[in-house]
Amino acid sequence: MALIQVPQGATLIYAYMSYTLTLESPQTLTFSWNKLRHLRWDHTFVLPCWLEAWWQVFGSRAELYLCAIKQKETVIGIAPLLLKEGKASFIGSADVCDYLDFVVAPKREQDFFDILLDGLKQKGINRLDLNCLRPDSTTATHLVTIARNRGCEVSCKPDGVSLELNLPATWQEYLAILNAKQRHELKRKLKRLWEAGDADYRIVKDSEAVPYLVDIFLKLFRDSREDKATFMTAQRESFFRSVSKGMSEAGLLRLGILELNTSPVATIMYLDFNDKVYLYNSGYDPQYRHLSVGLLSKALCIKDSIQRGKKRFDFLKGAEAYKYRLGGKETPIFSCQIVLK
């Protein structure tokens, strides 16, 4: 499919018949997100406000190629890409983004990827290096086949797991999902917590309270484990603050606070999108480790999610033992390399 390159102001546009490929800014997509709800936004890590926060903090070492493919005035898909040395990869990084993917309107995948791949070839890109992919990602379900049919070399390999939990209708049904030992331990730990003092778990989503609560979250995150303290560099802290602000303004950020005698002892940062809860990160006060406050804050978040009618609880990437103890089931994550032909 031959493309004609047409310059238009500060935006580079590729045109082919009724299709155009325009280069966008993260801010533009954030502003116009409500007009793009017809696209398949499968998870929070491809939302415009998330991409904007990541690009602002980490995006200085590659060329931004955030493109929208349109048929006349209708966007049929968005490719959130970075370009460097002839290679295209997703906007995002595995250390702070659990899943990555393209955002495409249902049943428009063939046209979208044909135009995108032609545009990338004309740009001088010879390889796609795509990671943090779920089996149900658009990359896995459509791009891999389309690329192979075009004669491209495609190589995919496992890259860890995430854990998820399908939520039942009631807390009692959830407890029944757990095996006898898990169920007994969870009930015992909850009882011990309630007997230790005035325990309270609450969810905060008020955007005005977010900066103060993020301060508490960051302190407990660093205090809870040495490796977490090492992970939370100044740059990553800047990202956490930026993405918290953006996701809060979009109405998607939640902070779960577990208090004991009015003092915060554990906190959860999670994302509430469609019918799914994403457990993004957490921290706790190690002085209360004997009360299992880290684990129980997550269990209480599951309970709250069930009560609010959510359908799925995503523990995200990593095979930590607590995810299995709380009923999580594995979903494979993989990476994919495509050599363009």
Q: Is the CB of residue 313 less than 8 Å from the CB of residue 105? A: no
* 226 and 209 in a common domain: yes
Which of 82, 87, 152, 140 shows the shortest CA–CA distance to 114? 152
Q: What is the pLDDT of residue 13?
A: 56
Which of 182, 172, 171, 103 shows the shortest CA–CA distance to 143? 103
Residue 126 lies in a domain: yes
* 154 and 12 in a common domain: yes
C-beta neighbour count of 275 within 10 angstroms: 12
* 303 and 188 in a common domain: yes
Q: What is the pLDDT of residue 206?
A: 85
C-beta neighbour count of 157 within 10 angstroms: 9
For residue 52, give every residue at least 6 positions away whose Cβ sits within 8 Å of its Cβ, in sequence order, or none. 26, 27, 29, 30, 246
Which of 282, 260, 261, 258 shows the shortest CA–CA distance to 270? 282
* 108 and 23 in a common domain: yes
Q: What is the pLDDT of residue 2?
A: 45
For residue 71, what is the enclosing H or E element?
strand 63-71
C-beta neighbour count of 334 within 10 angstroms: 19
Tell me the C-alpha distance between 258 and 265, whole Å.
Answer: 6
Domain housing 101: 4-160+334-339
* 143 and 8 in a common domain: yes
Q: What is the pLDDT of residue 16?
A: 66
Residue 75 lies in a domain: yes
Strands (E), 47-152: 63-71, 74-84, 87-90, 103-104, 127-133
* 192 and 148 in a common domain: no
* 144 and 10 in a common domain: yes
List the end-to-end C-alpha distance of the chain, in Å, as a whole number. 13
* 259 and 178 in a common domain: yes
Which of 277, 208, 287, 220 shows the shortest CA–CA distance to 244? 208
Tell me the C-alpha distance between 302 and 312, whole Å.
Answer: 9
Q: Is the CB of residue 18 less than 8 Å from the CB of residue 60? A: no
In the numeric block, which tokens belong to residue 116? Answer: 């995108």
* 25 and 107 in a common domain: yes
Q: For the CA atoms of the chain, what is the radius of gyration?
A: 22
* 8 and 156 in a common domain: yes
Residue 132 lies in a domain: yes
* 207 and 62 in a common domain: no
8-state DSSP, 288: G
* 303 and 235 in a common domain: yes
Q: What is the pLDDT of residue 5?
A: 47
Residue 320 lies in a domain: no
Residue 152 lies in a domain: yes
How many domains, in total, are found in the chain? 2
Residue 246 lies in a domain: yes
8-state DSSP, 328: -
pTM of the model: 0.92
* pLDDT tens over the chain, length 341 residues: 444 444 333 355 566 678 999 999 999 998 888 889 999 999 999 999 999 999 999 987 899 999 999 998 899 999 999 999 999 999 999 999 999 999 999 999 999 999 999 999 999 999 999 999 999 999 999 999 999 999 999 999 999 999 999 999 999 999 999 999 999 999 999 999 999 999 999 999 988 888 999 999 999 999 999 999 999 999 999 999 999 999 999 999 999 999 999 999 999 999 999 999 999 999 999 999 999 999 999 999 999 999 999 999 999 999 999 999 999 999 999 999 999 98
Distance set, CA 70 to CA 75, 103, 251, 259 (Å) = 4, 13, 27, 49
* CATH number of the domain to which 58 belongs: 3.40.630.30
